[in-house]
Amino acid sequence: MMKFRKLKKLKRLAAGALSAILTISAPLEAMPAAGLNSIADRIAVENADIANAVFAEVATATDMRDGGYAAEAADILYGEDGFINVGTPTDMPVATPTDMEPEYVDYRESSEEIDTQVVVSPAISLTGVAPFSQSVTIDGVIISIEAPEKVFPNGAQLSVKKVVNEETKSRISDAIDEAKAEEDAEDAGADAEAAETAAASGNDAAASYAYDIKVMLSGEEVEPDTSYGEVQVSFALENIPEGTGLKADVYHVKENKEDSSLTAKRLESTQETGIIDSNEAADSAEASGTAEAAGAIEAADATEAADAAEGLIITAVTDSFSYYVVEFTFSGFEYVLEGSESVYLSEILSALNISGTPEAVTVSDPELIGVTTTAGASTGDTAADAATAESLAAANADGAYIITALKPFNTEEWMKVTIGGLVYTIMLTDDNCGAFTVTGGKLGVDYGYRVTGKYNGKDVGVLTINPQNEETITIANIDPETPTLDRIEIAAGNNNINIVLNNVNISTANNLELGQPSPGPAILINKDTNITITLADGSANKLVSNSTGYAAISKNGDTSETSGTLTIKGGTAGTGALTAITAGGQARNQTGSGIGSDNGSCCNIIIEGGIITARGSKLGAGIGSGGSANSSGKATCSNIQIKGGTVTAYDYGNTDSKGAAIGGGFYSSVKDIIISGGTVTATAAGSAAAIGSGNGANADGITISGGTVKATGGDDANNSGAGAGIGAGQGGNASNITISGGTVSAKGGTDAPGIGAGAGGVLDKLTVSGGIIRAEGGSNGAGIGSGISFHYNTTTGEIYSIEACKNVKITGGTVTAVAGSCPSASTKPDSIGVGANGNGFKRDTASGTVIDGGSVKAESVAGDPVNSKGYKVYLFTQENANNDKVSFDGTEYTSVAAGRYNHALESAGDTNLYAFRPTMRLQISVQQTIL
């Protein structure tokens, strides 16, 4: 329905006022009375007196003052453009619109733009062309046009329509997004698509208004003649809250007449704060005939004056008119939520210096961010959930908003708070822990995050763990599928740190390639720290060090007294998994281990459970110490214990690797490797032991009392000998190896024994008292004992041999010792004893072998073995095709394989019992099995 305001105040009509309403196409004295009568019929006036007074100002014809033209019976007719159409505005000079009261038109149709400021009265002027200055106010935004004289003709009027048609708004928005993308692409040198994505993600618009702005004359749109000067369009927003950092951009959107497409351009603009006087705006609009200003005039009449307020004014220069969009934005609003904790919205607003009473709150993801009130209202507010937002706003009348981080997150989440019609977009981050989520403890007290560099423009940092009250800290990747460059560091000096890894995925920076992020291990455990790492049940944790010289899990330390202890557990069900890899390549400075030290000594690593996979670098162990680049930097590895779980360990994986799978790195010796349970698979491809010392170093103290152990040595790239399956690496000595239980399978690398010293080294003191053991030498290596001989005096060139195998004692268990292959039968290595002699070298010797119990299968034993009483023993083979129980020197041999009462079988057809017997006091009895 069309509405209009009747003319009420005669005092606002002065001489010439009618000319601001009427458009007359000929001089008055030339017009017939009938013509004037028809005009009068189309004018709405309140009574005949006003009509007569009006007409008296413009003519003297008595028929023009006929009292029959009462306004109450007349209709005002409007054209499609919202202007009053009175007469034919043709070939007429236009008057200055002075002391006019405007007509007010308010029509609302959903498919059309709302013409909230309809400008009426094209006017008659008989004078020169004046400067143009007109303003209107829509929804609190004051739109003004300023131009010097002659740019617009006299009588031109400002017309502003707010765009409400959704299709038109969408087209305008698309055009602006495209303009932003092009600007970002030009600035960043990126492609337009990437820039558009970046621009969209960073848009924090508090308010965005679209207007169809035109300057009209006699119902026709006129464009400015900018040859006479610039045209300025300005937008002012009243009552801006202090300290909010409000800024605005103006976009000019034009329509292509050929295909109706829209293109947008951001105008260069200035922005300032100033006093915005609503009276001045009203006066300006009164002159231009705007309906909004008419209301302002009445308000001014009622209150005598309107309060002035400080506002933001943005001004741009333009040369034409069509659609304009002013976009008010706020920058710098970011708030860190404490994980799983709640905070009053008022605290957030106070911290961001935002004032005012919230009217509504919406969030990006209600599953991550909860919004409630103290009045008991709760909502899963989203931007689309207007009804819920309204209900929450109503509830907030009796209570305060409460914001809660429901789940950990590191995505870009937002909260939009409406205050005074403005929408403040506040970016929310959870705890600011980089790529991780942390539960347990308190940010800034028990843990913290610091940025140490950048990669591809994104922050890279370190999460530091230092709980103050022995509270368990759980760490997880926010995106477990994507590895992060962020690292974890455990603070020094804390004696009881418990952390849980729950799908942590780290792949550290290679500082040789990137140079920007801080390099280091995936997890650094500082000295003097006792830490337990529990792998959450069902979790898959992957730690990769790409940083030169760093371990995946770095646990440095020289002695057990000062270095603290690392304990790894597999969760309640033991199903947590950990993969720790040093992927530093084959360069000589690649020294880190998978789990252990960077490039030096390590100690006190205990594995109690879980599914563990560890791989070292070229010079570092899979589990144990890192390597040294040369012999002058020898390191040690001590007190590595495996009590349970499934443990798989490797060296770097090629024949040039020089670190053990479990034990020492290059030139790193071993002290006390203890395996008491679990399933352990250790594989060395190069010249170190699978379990034991690295290349060029010694092993002292390897103890196996339970579990299932498989250790495989490798092949040296230079064909100069490799490491034992269990024992020492190339050129290293092994001592104090003890096996009392479990199932053990050990195979030596090239020129090395299954169990014992490395190629060219010495085994001194190996004791077997239980378990099932199979030891097989690599080519030229003994099954148990030493590897190949290659000893000579480098000064004289004298070739000599050494006592390379001594103090082997077997008192129990089931032992199979198999010598490695050798091209020459005359130099074939022993099953228990020494390896073959190298080309041109003398063969090494053995002594002190004691076989006093158990079941031993060996083809040959060097050094005249004896029993504990000093009697010589020799190989004894007893046929036992019927699987009978056999007693030997009072010891009964029980089932060890395939249900047979025999020694561990070499093949299904081997039914013999193999043992060693002394030359005296031999007693053998066979108890037949009754079938």
Quote the pLDDT of residue 917. Answer: 67
Distance CA 121, CA 552 (A): 81
- Is the model's pTM score more than 0.75? no
Bridge partners (DSSP) listed for residue 885? 927
Burial class (CB in 10 A: 0-12, 13-18, 19+), 15: exposed
Classify residue 91 as exposed, middle or buried by CB count within 10 Å of its CB (0-12, 13-18, 19+): exposed
Using CA atoms, how far apart are residues 730 and 726, in angstroms rounded to an integer? Answer: 12
Q: What is the phi/psi pair of residue 589, to 5°?
A: -95, 10
In whole angstroms, give the CA distance from residue 656 to residue 591. Answer: 13
Please choose, from the candidates 506, 495, 580, 560, the residue with its C-alpha nearest in 3D space to the C-alpha of residue 532: 495
- To 10 degrees, what angle do helices 192-201 and 166-188 make? 110
Determine the Cα–Cα distance for residues 422 and 564; give it in Å rounded to an integer. 57
Cβ-based neighbours of 632, under 8 Å, separated by 6 or more: none
Tell me the C-alpha distance between 584 and 586, whole Å. Answer: 7
The residues of the chain scoring below 50 in pLDDT are 1-127, 190-203, 242-243, 280-307, 379-398, 585-588, 896-901, 904-905, 929-931
Please state at what angle helix 278-288 crosses helix 291-303, rounded to 10 degrees: 130
Chain mean position to CA 376? 34
pLDDT value at position 514?
Answer: 52
The rounded distance, in Å, linking the Cα atoms of 763 and 765 is 7
Residue 826's pLDDT is what?
Answer: 60
Residue type, 727: G
Residue 833: partners with Cβ closer than 8 Å, 6 or more residues away: 782, 784, 785, 786, 805, 846, 849, 860, 861, 862, 863
Residues 748/724, Cβ–Cβ less than 8 Å: yes
| Residues pairing with 415 in the sheet | 363, 426
The residues facing 381 across adjacent strands are: none
- DSSP letter string, 383-429: TT-HHHHHHHHHHGGGS-EEEEE-S---S-EEEEEEETTEEEEEEEE
* Residue 510 CB neighbour total at 10 angstroms: 17
At 184 the three-state DSSP class reads helix
Structural contact between residues 663 and 636, judged by C-beta atoms closer than 8 angstroms: no
pLDDT for the residue numbered 821? 87
* First CA to last CA distance, the chain: 111
pLDDT at 77: 33
What would the pLDDT profile of 134-159 be if each residue is shown by its tens digit?
A: 998 887 788 999 999 999 999 999 99
The token pair that represents 697 in the structure block? 């170093």
What's the pLDDT at 568?
97
SS (H, E, C) 539-598: CEEEEEECCCCCCCEEEECCCCCCCCCEEEECCCCCCCEEEEEECCCCCCCCCCCCEECC
